[in-house]
């Protein structure tokens, strides 16, 4: 191995290690019993117990899950229809259409969030969980479209044609052939849109009604004042564990 190769190897693995360092330290301190929070004095599960007994955490977690679930359903519906239309019928001006649908993905989130809230105020829409969902769909539907369209493009039309030749009409073909064929792509899009919505902070922060917290907003409220809160470390540890599990399962699914 040449000098350059060895240097590259060291650089690569050092950076990867460094990206894990903060997370490892955060996890370690979730078991810290010290009151000073930054000096590790002893092992405890207290932080976990106080977290599990914290009703606000559970409430914001449930809020995150159900809003994200609705967002995924609506975004998939809109995304599937649009992607199917563009791939199947290739309408005139699809390039323009593509760029239009893509704009929400490119525009910085904070701009989208502020303009949407101002619009909602002007038209007299009260902020509610619905406004969070609307804000998320405005980003997630284009995201779903992007993923689905990329996957649909390569796919084989022959199955559909065969079904139609054998006498199935277009709507039957769509539900019996096209949708099952689309399923892997739909699952991929569902996964991505869910993660985005579940993790989103900025848009939720702007479009939420006061008192309605999702998990990221709850975490923000706890840590934004510059404090270190060890039950947040405990929460992070659980989230890390779930994320790792999720990624692992997804890897397995993708392989199949």
Partner 1 sequence: MEGDTFIDKIRRSRSLKLFLLLGPGLIFLAIFFFAPFVISLMLSLGMLDKEVYTWYLTFEVTLRYYIRFFTNPGTVRAIILSFYYASVTTIGTLLLAYPMAYYMAFKMDKRMKTTAVFIIFLPFWINFILRVYAMRFILHEAGPLQQGLISIGLLSEPIPILGTDIAVIITMIYSYLIFMLLPIFGVVEKINKEYIEAAYTLGAPPLKTFLKITLPLSKPGIIAGSLLVFIPALGEFVIPILVGGGRAYTIGRLIYDNFIRISGILGWAMGSAAAMVYIGLILISTYIYFKFVGREITLI
Site for partner 1 in 54-93 (CB under 8 A): 77-79, 81-82, 84-86, 89, 91
Burial of 177 (0-12, 13-18, 19+ CB in 10 A): middle
Q: Measured from the CB atom, is 206 or 212 closer to partner 1?
A: 206
Please identify which residue in 46, 59, 98, 199 interacts with partner 1, judged by CB under 8 A. 199
Sole binder of partner 1 in the list 51, 116, 182, 188 (CB under 8 A): 116
Among residues 52 and 114, whose Cβ is nearest to partner 1? 114
Q: How far apart (Å, rounded) are the C-alpha atoms in residues 195 and 246?
A: 10
Nearer Cβ to partner 1, position 13 or 66?
13
Residue 79 CB, shortest distance to partner 1, in Å, is 7
Q: What DSSP string runs through 30-86?
A: TTB--SSSSS---B-SHHHHHHHT-HHHHHHHHHHHHHHHHHHHHHHHHHHHHHHHH
At its nearest, how many Å lie between partner 1 and the CB of residue 193? 13
Asked if 183 touches partner 1 (CB under 8 A), the answer is no
**CA dist 217 to 179, 201, 233, Å?**
36, 6, 15
Does residue number 253 form part of the binding site for partner 1 (CB under 8 A)? no
- Pair of tokens at residue 29: 């301190």
Rule CB under 8 A: choose which of 55, 166, 183, 251 binds partner 1: 251
Report if residue 238 touches partner 1, rule: CB under 8 A. Answer: no
Compute the residue count for the chain: 256
Cα–Cα dist 101/61, whole Å: 30
């Amino acid at each position: 191995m040449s000098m350059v190769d060895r240097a590259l190897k060291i650089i690569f693995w050092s950076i990867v290690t460094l990206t894990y360092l903060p997370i490892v330290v955060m996890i370690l301190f979730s078991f810290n019993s010290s009151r000073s929070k930054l000096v590790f004095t002893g092992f405890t599960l207290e932080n976990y117990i106080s977290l599990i007994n914290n009703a606000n955490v559970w409430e914001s977690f449930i809020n995150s899950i159900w809003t994200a679930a609705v967002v995924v359903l609506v975004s998939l519906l809109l995304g599937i229809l649009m992607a199917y239309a563009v791939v199947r019928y290739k309408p005139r001006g699809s390039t323009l259409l593509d760029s239009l649908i893509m704009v929400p993905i490119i525009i910085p989130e904070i701009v989208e969030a502020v303009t949407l809230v101002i619009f909602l105020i002007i038209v007299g829409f009260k902020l509610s969980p619905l406004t969070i969902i609307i804000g998320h769909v405005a980003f997630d539907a284009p995201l779903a479209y992007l993923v689905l369209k990329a996957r649909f493009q390569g796919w084989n039309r022959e199955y559909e044609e065969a079904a139609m030749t054998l006498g199935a009409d277009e709507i039957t073909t769509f539900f019996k052939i096209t949708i099952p064929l689309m399923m892997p792509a739909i699952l991929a899009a569902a996964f991505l849109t869910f993660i985005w919505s579940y993790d989103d902070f900025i848009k939720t922060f702007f479009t939420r009604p006061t008192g309605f917290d999702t998990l990221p907003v709850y975490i923000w409220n706890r840590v934004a004042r510059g404090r270190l809160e060890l039950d947040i470390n405990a929460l992070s540890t659980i989230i890390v564990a779930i994320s790792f599990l999720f990624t692992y399962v997804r890897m397995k699914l993708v392989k199949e």
